[in-house]
């Protein structure tokens, strides 16, 4: 497409700026080539506007929808890469084992295994008393939250089980 046609199509479609519209309108009035192309493009645009778009028949639409419905859709779970999940699980298991190894290596064990074991923690480790942890308001609210969450999970499990029996 040459620049004359591009300018005229933009003028016909109304996508040019007002300054360009004035310049093109002046060219159409003054230049015979622009006027001839403009009338041709207007006729073509009118023919495009008068055309009826063919729509497929209802039987065709129904057949297409049935073909789509008949296809087996892959469940979303199958698109998850199992290797990624196994990699994440391996990372966490390895992290836990390393932390457990570091913890056990810092504990000094003395004595015979069959006699009373004497476990001693390193002197720089300060353990808080368990009574202050379990008597705090934060811990009590945590347990209440856990109980409520367990009740919700149990309820949803039992409802799902009941719905499966009825179906």
| 84/124: higher pLDDT | 84
What mean pLDDT is predicted for residues 6-31?
88
Whether the pLDDT of residue 154 is over 60: the answer is yes
Q: How does DSSP assign 100-160, residue by residue?
A: HHHHHHHSEEES-SSS--EEE--TT--PPPHHHHHTSHHHHHHHHHHHHHHHHHHHHHHHH
What mean pLDDT is predicted for residues 25-43?
89
Whether the pLDDT of residue 1 is over 60: the answer is no
Give per-residue pLDDT as tens, 108-120: 766 566 566 666 7
* pTM value surpassing 0.75: no
The predicted structure's pLDDT at residue 75: 67
């Amino acid at each position: 497409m040459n620049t004359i046609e591009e300018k005229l199509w933009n003028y016909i479609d109304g996508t040019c700026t007002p300054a360009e519209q004035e310049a093109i309108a002046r060219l159409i009035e003054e230049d015979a080539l622009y006027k001839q192309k403009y009338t041709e493009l207007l006729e073509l645009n009118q023919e495009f506007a008068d055309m009826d778009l063919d729509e497929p028949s209802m039987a065709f639409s129904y057949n297409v929808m049935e073909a789509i419905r008949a296809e087996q859709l892959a469940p979303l779970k199958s698109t998850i890469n199992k290797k990624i999940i196994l990699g994440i699980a391996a990372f966490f298991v390895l992290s836990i084992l390393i932390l457990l190894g570091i913890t056990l290596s810092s504990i000094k064990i003395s004595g015979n295994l069959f006699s009373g074991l004497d476990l001693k923690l390193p002197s720089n480790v300060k353990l808080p008393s368990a009574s202050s942890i379990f008597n705090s308001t934060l811990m009590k609210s945590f347990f209440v939250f856990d109980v409520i969450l367990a009740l919700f999970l149990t309820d949803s499990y039992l409802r799902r089980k009941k719905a499966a029996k009825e179906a």
